[in-house]
Amino acid sequence: MKTSITLTLVLMLLFSSCASYPKYETFDTYIDFEKYSQVGFFLSIDDYNHSYMPKGLLSVSCYSGVQKTEVSKPKDMFNDDLYYSSSSKFKKEFRTCRVEELLDEIVNEARSKGADGLVNVKIVNTSRMVKEGNKKMKQPGLLITGFAIKKLE
């Protein structure tokens, strides 16, 4: 009996020391709305308590992943495809969604609709399942939503 208890304790110690846990981390984020205020565009995570004309709901989403961009042929290359294959015409680069890029996009979209403000702005981490070959993967992304308005005061 004493041997089985000792063996059980030793096995528990061996297996518990092999377990790996995600490490504890904290992150600070600051999203600057000032550049939009400087050009007369109002951004807020809250309601707007003054007179306004509603323009509509907007959302912009992005999913991180590989982006394929065309690369121009170097000037010293021959025009023959033997020296410049079609596979070398593209560059693949992994792109991560950035809040700043999506904010620029949603502000530009709101302006194109005649809005000078975006209220109830929500910035949310999101993901979707994608199939790559015969594997399913979770693709991380960002979603920004807001209510476009035209201030009357």
Report which DSSP code applies to 41.
Answer: -
> The pTM is what?
0.69
**Cα–Cα distances in angstroms (integers) from residue 105 to residues 11, 118, 144, in the given order:** 56, 12, 10
pLDDT at site 93: 85
At residue 125 the predicted structure's pLDDT band, cuts being 50, 70 and 90, is very high
- DSSP secondary structure of 7-34: HHHHHHHHHHHH---PPP---------H
Q: Mind listing the pLDDT tens digit for each residue in 14-32? A: 566 555 677 888 988 888 8
112-119 mean pLDDT: 96
Q: Return the structure tokens found at 137.
A: 């993967």
Which segment, 38-47, 80-89, 132-141, is predicted with the most confidence on average? 38-47
Higher pLDDT, 9 or 119: 119
Residue 11 confidence (pLDDT) above 70: no
* Dihedral pair phi/psi, residue 118, rounded to 5°: -140, 120
The whole-number average pLDDT for the span 59-67 is 91
Superfamily the domain 30-151 falls into = Hypothetical protein apc22750. Chain B (3.30.110.70)
